[in-house]
Structure 1
């Protein structure tokens, strides 16, 4: 009989049935996987201001290291819509007037958070979207001024990332970013191949990608590119060719992930699915990509992230991705005594706040997302309200699962640390899971950690769903999230 103090776990029969059913199904949200999915969220019963006051009380006993996310709503229209596969909330870009209006509202939200976030310690900043490099050069200084006004000053040594698409980066913009204090750029390339990129509806050319990277190098900005495998009509040679182009171009960091097939996206339609590599093909691609990246002088940080092996302090800075890394183990402790907790504090359209305030079973933690309709976002700010849409109040089991999900992204779980901070034997709680994965050569367990190996790394999103399955049965039983309309929105925790 399971211990009621432990996370509810599936038995052997449930594990075997789950793996047989899911092994050859396409899974979604593989890059930004959090617990629980927004399909289980609902309008919060407590006003946001009360939650933030409660968070302030927790901060008197525990240091919070904050990773700030600033959201942007706008994307350029594509045909098919949303590049064919994207499930993140966005609004069509209609011109600079809408951008200027949005920045005014964004500033209002920053001001609402001043009583609650002003004393926090910033660990990193990420400007995401949407497409943040739609902003004009003069806007980047204004964005950083909002952050500076909220926190008093922005530390000069933290990572500050802005993401965008290749064709919108120009030298005036890159120069303005550098002058405003940005020090890292994430470029959503998807495909280097001009023929294959047309499936997303983007008007993107190879020379625009190279130009963006050259500008980053010229102005000393750390750079990362996102590349997707499992793309329509993509071959193994196409994929390896893209990785070769990225490494040859001096890219510092590469996020290489499988095409997301879910929801009502164009790529999920039957006609497009016929053009996709099979799941066994994708596994072969994943393993071949890993071998290539290691041979090219990169080290694997997560299932999807690779950094160029650093040679000194400067190359270590350039190849890091602290906004993500800070959350993979969001608890800093000394033999179980918590010293610091990393949080995500989100401001802007569809931004997420992830507040693991404490590891005590008696304390409250939560996650919530801002409105995913720009009109609703602005209307709430006009009323002087925090523009929050839905959220989820964690039970202690949910905090454990959130920690496990983040840890699994790094392809290992330190079961000794888990026992120290949660007073639970992870190997015993999920013994049927580990037995099944070990029998398939998907994991290796030693005295310190559970290591995901080979195809077991590819299947980590499936394993995350498996270990959370019994807890989610409980949540579904409580009727949380019915008619939420959010089930296909990925969580931007990391």
Structure 2
């Protein structure tokens, strides 16, 4: 029997990586480099070359979301920010009334002049990396901002007219207790923002935390305490009127991250910048990571380090793994649109297993989602869809 080819829709999402940071946090394994003495303007020149080559090879049809991540994009000076955003608008033109244009920011790196340049350049959503409202904890994880910086940055953003603001928080941090988490949630919710992302700490290789963990010098909360923190987070955000639309994300109605939702729906997206990942026409690619090697590579072509075709089977597995992160789950209409068949034809064994274990449940939209119990064991469920 011949396989039905999967539908390859044009990318409507753009991810752009700015790899510079004021310092490297103890838990961070992202492709980021301390800003001091870095060739920032040369990097922006290289980004422009990559943008030009990319849109020539993959012409832009309609851009719906743009996300600028890092690193810390807001370490760019106002004139650099202006230059960067002009480039983005040139190669990825958007309808300013329709686009969701997000930029990551660190508290303390967004004065009014920089925020004005961001707003003028089309940014309409800011995600601040706050992590905690406990200053001792912030210092212990290598953050260089404090809670005063958070309040000042958010006040500046509101003053400049930003109406779609998000903050990232973390749980499961060293020496973090349920009480500390509770106090952080109270301070976070008092800000009355549109969106909150709350992630558990993962100890990644090539980080200071990994070194300390290997030496048994990282005082992490117990697994039970971490579960209690997560249950507290879900309950507290729900009671405050925020919908949990993905395992780690909570929003007021209408303020869910449209860009991240494209990842979770397994849609195509442009990926530009040092170390960026992209997914176009059934192929995933990863760019060269180092700053100077990336700059040099753009002078002779696209700065791709590796590229590979995603098979139909792999794409279906990805669909299930990322789609089940969303609390609405996956459905046969979306699956059929991409693959021309039904979910059950490919994953009946895993579906039956988790339905019987009550970690998955059927939805009214002819699909499947994690149950309340399943949310706590999501990784186990996701892994079962990999062949």
With normalisation by structure 1, the TM-score equals 0.72
Unpaired segments ≥5 residues, structure 2? none
Aligned counterpart, 2:368: 450
Residue correspondence of structure 1 range 6-155 to structure 2 within 5 A:
64-77=10-23, 82-95=24-37, 98-151=39-92, 153-155=93-95
Aligned counterpart, 1:303: 247
Query: Given the alignment of the two structures, is residue 166 of structure 1 paired with residue 107 of structure 2, yes or no?
Result: yes
Change (3 A) 1:84 1:102: same
Distance 1:374 1:192 in 2: 33
Distance 2:219 2:354 in 1: 31
Indicate which of 283, 289, 301 corresponds to 2:227.
283
Query: Given the alignment of the two structures, is residue 414 of structure 1 paired with residue 330 of structure 2, yes or no?
Result: yes
Aligned counterpart, 2:383: 465
The worse-fitting range, judged by mean Cα deviation, of 108-117 and 287-296 is 108-117
Change (3 A) 1:238 1:439: farther
Query: Given the alignment of the two structures, is residue 376 of structure 1 paired with residue 314 of structure 2, yes or no?
Result: no
Distance 1:418 1:280 in 2: 36
Distance 1:346 1:251 in 2: 28
Change (3 A) 1:143 1:264: closer
Aligned counterpart, 1:352: 277
Change (3 A) 1:236 1:126: same
Distance 2:373 2:184 in 1: 22
Check the 8 A contact 2:103/2:127 in 1, yes or no: yes
Deviations 1:232-252 (A, max 9, x none): 111111112212211111221
TM-superposed CA distance for 1:227, in Å, is 0.4
Aligned counterpart, 1:343: 268
Distance 2:45 2:205 in 1: 33
Check the 8 A contact 1:418/1:424 in 2, yes or no: no
Check the 8 A contact 2:354/2:381 in 1, yes or no: no
Check the 8 A contact 1:411/1:451 in 2, yes or no: yes
Check the 8 A contact 1:65/1:123 in 2, yes or no: no
Check the 8 A contact 1:412/1:449 in 2, yes or no: no
SS in 2 for 1:133: helix
Distance 1:236 1:445 in 2: 33
Deviations 1:129-170 (A, max 9, x none): 11100001112221121122224x332120111112112121
Deviations 1:307-358 (A, max 9, x none): 024xxxxxx3xx231111233335xxxxxxxxxxx42101211111112x3x
Change (3 A) 1:170 1:416: same
Aligned counterpart, 1:156: 96
Aligned counterpart, 2:315: 399
TM-superposed CA distance for 1:263, in Å, is 1.7
Change (3 A) 1:119 1:450: closer
Indicate which of 138, 157, 170 corresponds to 1:228.
170
Distance 1:204 1:307 in 2: 25
Distance 1:406 1:463 in 2: 11
Query: Given the alignment of the two structures, is residue 267 of structure 1 paired with residue 209 of structure 2, yes or no?
Result: yes
Distance 1:228 1:446 in 2: 30
With normalisation by structure 2, the TM-score equals 0.90
Distance 1:417 1:280 in 2: 38
Change (3 A) 1:112 1:76: same
Distance 1:418 1:407 in 2: 10
SS in 1 for 2:108: helix
Deviations 1:352-380 (A, max 9, x none): 1112x3xxxxxxx1100111111221221
Residue correspondence of structure 1 range 191-340 to structure 2 within 5 A:
191-221=132-162, 222-268=164-210, 269-271=213-215, 274-309=218-253, 316=254, 319-330=255-266
RMSD: 2.4
Check the 8 A contact 2:28/2:204 in 1, yes or no: no
Check the 8 A contact 1:126/1:323 in 2, yes or no: yes
Deviations 1:376-406 (A, max 9, x none): 2122123x22110113211110111222222
Check the 8 A contact 1:75/1:90 in 2, yes or no: yes
Check the 8 A contact 2:250/2:256 in 1, yes or no: no
SS in 2 for 1:284: helix
Distance 2:334 2:8 in 1: 19
The worse-fitting range, judged by mean Cα deviation, of 239-248 and 268-277 is 268-277
Aligned counterpart, 1:44: none
Unpaired segments ≥5 residues, structure 1? 7-57, 310-315, 331-341, 358-364, 471-494
Distance 1:423 1:120 in 2: 24
Check the 8 A contact 2:11/2:270 in 1, yes or no: no
